[in-house]
Chains A and B, each alone.
Chain A
Amino acid sequence: MTDEPKDHAPASTGPSRRDLLESALGAGAAVWAAGIAVPTGMYLWPAAASGPTKKYIEVDPASMPPGTGRVVSEGGKPVLLLRQKNGEFRALSAVCTHLGCIVHWNADQQQIQCPCHAGTFTPEGAVVSGPPPRPLASYPTQMVAGKLRITI
């Protein structure tokens, strides 16, 4: 392995050239290792806050007087939030079970209505009339630190 062309070249260039190659390859390997380690570290660092863990909506209860309702949406799911006359909250899927239009709360008639084909639902989400085949799905709600949390 020490058989560099000694006769044709100064003895010193062989080993030095080899050393250069070895150290260049070593440095390359180090760069390679870093190129694997850095993305791995970045991958492991907790990703964006809006990750799959956040599956709830938070609403300030004071923003909704009793007897009102509004559509809130987070993470692709529109939710119809109702506040009953007795102050209790109820969260229902705002997607009409007929053709997927977004339903809204009719405060005068105390009913949920779908603007597309006259489907109406009770405040509990049951079908009163019209084409919807199924009641609206409901989501659990709870008070957490003064905020209403809807788990979706």
Chain B
Amino acid sequence: MSLRARANGWFERRYPMRAIREGLAHQMHKLLPPHVSWLHTLGGLLLFLAAQQILTGILLMVYYRPTTEDAYESVRFLMLKASFGWLIRGLHAWGATLMIAVLVLHMLRVFIMGAYKRPRELTWVGGVLIFFTTLGFGFTGYLLPWNQLSYWATTVGTEVAASIPGIGRSLGVLMRGGEAVGQETLARFYTMHVVVLPWVLVFLMIMHIVMIRTQNLAPLEAVGEERPLDPRTAVSFAPQHTSRELVVFPLFFALMIAVVILFPPEIGVKADPTVTPEGIKPEWYFLPTYQLLKYLPKLLGLGLSAIPPLLLLLWPFLDRSRARRPSQRKLSVTIGLGALLLTVLLGLVGYLSESEITLFGKHIRFDMYGVPEVVPAGR
């Protein structure tokens, strides 16, 4: 027996390498339904992005210091002095934004293809929870550079939580670790961002992937009419589907590097609790909620903005129809697309509100409700 075989045997008796390898090979060569398309690479892309966020996040932690004294300076230091620090922060910041964008597209794909239907309701619920967790990453991570924008966006954001009737005040104090955003808030957000949320995300992703692998990707046939996969038309996960993902990943990475270099994330001005800058706005993915809250009296707005997330979470239990093909469930698809359109519109109005743009030589100012008003020339 060769030395190598003996070593393998020794190891095999202590660690079931072969069983694991065979299990993995089985998963790798699993057959997927024939309609698997480019849109199905979005899920894999999200895994790629999550891994990138975790890796760049770990690298950022090497220089970052979560204190009000040092946070801003340490971010500035790693961007300016540490080699390629600008690249790592850029990838992390843009990665967060792109991850949310890809998440929305992925959810849209699943929604339109009816893939959340029985027995994959929990896969959808888990996915929505992953979406919320990612938003939590965005909210907590935004504060960490400790600049004016992040400070005041967090002040406004936690204020929203604090205005929930009953528990709101306690919730606000709990989030901020005090009455105002300060050192305690930074420590709490940091802990959430680098310890709590990553574990929650990893757990949710493992659950999500386990469910996908055991139930396979949803076919297009209606619930109860699924046919067994035909090996002649089915697509193998590896190497066929993965070959598709390999086309997408480099392109996406190229896009990311390009935006990082062409539109580097700013660092802004260090947070100053005594000076409130004008036109404080949250990150783009919170804009729709932010704008909705403006239109409605606070209480009603809070109650109302809690409905879309709940609808999203519980959608598979609300939509009990059997059909999966979008052409056979026009109402459902219309509701989904309508909700998305409304969200985008609200976000757009939120983006434009309290700002001025020049369109065809005319200055147009939008008030806080997004109502446009033409500014006379010469002002």
Contacts and interface: CB of A to CB of B under 8 A. Distances in A.
Direct touching of A and B (C-beta under 8 Å): yes
Interface of A: 25, 32, 39-40, 42-45, 47-48, 50-52
A44 B63 CA distance: 9
Which of the four size classes fits the interface of chain B?
10 to 19
Contact of A52 (B73, B87, B88, B246): B73
29 contacts: A25-B246, A32-B250, A39-B83, A39-B84, A39-B87, A39-B88, A40-B59, A40-B84, A40-B88, A42-B83, A43-B59, A43-B62, A43-B82, A43-B83, A44-B59, A44-B62, A45-B83, A47-B63, A47-B82, A47-B83, A47-B85, A48-B81, A50-B81, A51-B77, A52-B65, A52-B70, A52-B73, A52-B74, A52-B77
A28 to B, nearest CB: 8
Contacts of B59: 40, 43-44
A47 B73 CA distance: 14
Contacts of A47: 63, 77-78, 81-83, 85
3 tightest A-B CB contacts, nearest first = A42-B83, A39-B84, A47-B82
Contacts of A45: 83
B250 to A, nearest CB: 8
Residue of A25, A50, A51, A52 contacting most chain B CB atoms (<10 Å): A52
A42 B62 CA distance: 13
A50 B81 CA distance: 9
B199 to A, nearest CB: 23
Given A52-B70, A52-B73, A52-B74, A43 B85 contact: yes
A39 B56 CA distance: 12
Nearest to A25: B246
A40 B70 CA distance: 23
Interface in B17-64: 59, 62-63
B77 A43 contact: no
Given A45-B83, A52-B65, A52-B70, 5 more contacts: A39-B87, A40-B84, A47-B85, A51-B77, A51-B81
Contacts of A25: 246
Contacts of B246: 25
Contact of B84 (A42, A48, A52): A42
A94 B82 CA distance: 30
A43 B88 contact: yes
Contact of A43 (B73, B84, B250): B84
A32 B82 CA distance: 21
Contacts of A50: 81
Interface string B145-185: 00000000000000000000000000000000000000000
A109 B83 CA distance: 50
Interface in B199-230: none
Contacts of B250: 32
A40 B85 CA distance: 9
Contacts of B73: 52
A54 B63 CA distance: 14
B68 to A, nearest CB: 14
B73 to A, nearest CB: 6
Nearest to B249: A32
A52 B78 CA distance: 10
A43 B85 CA distance: 6
A111 to B, nearest CB: 31
B253 to A, nearest CB: 8
Contacts of A42: 83-84
Interface in B230-252: 246, 250
Contacts of B84: 39-40, 42-43
B233 to A, nearest CB: 16
A42 B86 CA distance: 12
Nearest to B88: A43
Nearest to A52: B77
Contacts of A44: 59, 62
A48 B76 CA distance: 13
Contacts of B77: 47, 51-52
B261 to A, nearest CB: 13
A45 B84 CA distance: 11
Contacts of B62: 43-44
Contacts of A39: 83-84, 87-88
Interface string B78-115: 10011111011000000000000000000000000000
A32 B252 CA distance: 14
A40 B92 CA distance: 14
Contacts of B65: 52
Contacts of A48: 81
